[in-house]
Amino acid sequence: MKAVLISAVFALAATCAAAQEKVLNLYSSRHYQTDEALYSNFTKQTGIRINRIEAGEDALLERLKNEGARSPADVLVTVDAGRLWRAEQMGLFQPIQSRVLTERIPAELRQPDGLWFAFSVRARPIFYAKGLVNPAELKNYEDLADPKYKGKICIRSSSNMYNLSLMSAMISNDGPAKAEQWAKGVVANLAREPKGGDTDQLKAVAAGECTIAVANSYYYVRLLKSTKPDEKIVAEKVGVIFPNQAGRGTHVNISGAGVMKNAPNKDNAVKFLEYLSSPEAQAYFANGNNEFPVNGGVQDNKELAMLPAFKRDTLNVSMLGRNQAAAQQTYDRAGWK
């Protein structure tokens, strides 16, 4: 009887281990339809079933904070290095050492201690009204503060994460004093108070409300791919400039992920991160949300491939989070609402 009992205990333990081996609990703030194929393909390749919880970035971070050490989460996927940094500051991640990840993902696109990794890149270039702005005269972000563009610029609010990350990069690259002077110059050149999303800025340029805007690259590519006549017109009227090509390169941000500190399925979590860096998964990012892969080309996304090749800023993306508080303070002093 004792031997039977022991065998039963071992069998139960083996069953539990097998069940654990085949599960990944994913918390994600990404909400793109093509991610469905991204995740299902991982399951097909590995047999690991994904339990997914989707919510906004702030809601997920609050949930993880409340769950604490009892959290079932294995991986957090979110957009913007600033949000990944916030999760890092909350102590949510554990460091991961993976030769696959370090070989596939450039050093500037991963947290230096291996706490989180980028899996797609989005540039934040300058857009302009064709025929009304000479792109040869608008070469750098710093040029946006030139008084000759007074009343010409549309851009989102200072509290927007994309703009916080842009200012964080400006602080790192130009220094706090110059970054603040730049912000004041941009505020003086605004055509209207900051409002709306990135697509709204592009539509405002096409409508003549302003002649210059700053937006993430994938919003523009969405317009290029759109079947709606009014959005096609916007794409036709707006041109794109990848700034600072003679210097540090264009500011970029990321979508990324990290393994949770208390991940119950750590091995599966690492496999998932390595899968996200694979050429096949990178194609989903490029073709699904029009983001640039962290390695390789843009696959068969012809509209994304239409954008000019550009040099990107190699500032480590973790700095976009570290400078976040200083970025908001800089905007506030500049009067950027």
Binding residues for Fe cation: 31, 218-219
Tokens for 18, please give them: 């097998």
Pair 51, 26: CB distance under 8 Å: yes
HSE, CB side, 13 Å, CA atoms: give it for residue 287.
13
Q: Report how far Cα 246 is from the mean position of its chain's Cα atoms.
A: 24
Question: Which of 32, 331, 333 minimizes the C-alpha distance to 155?
Answer: 331
Q: 36: left (phi > 0), else alpha (psi -120 to 50), else beta?
A: alpha
Tokens for 54, please give them: 């989707």
Q: How far apart are CA 135 and CA 127, in angstroms?
A: 9
Q: Which residue positions form the known binding site?
A: 31, 218-219
Q: How many CB atoms lie within 10 A of CB 260?
A: 23
Pair 155, 329: CB distance under 8 Å: no
Tokens for 204, please give them: 């405002």
- Which residues have CB under 8 Å from 291's CB, separation 6+? 120, 121, 122, 218, 255, 285
Tokens for 283, please give them: 């194609």
Q: What one-character DSSP code corresponds to residue 278? A: S
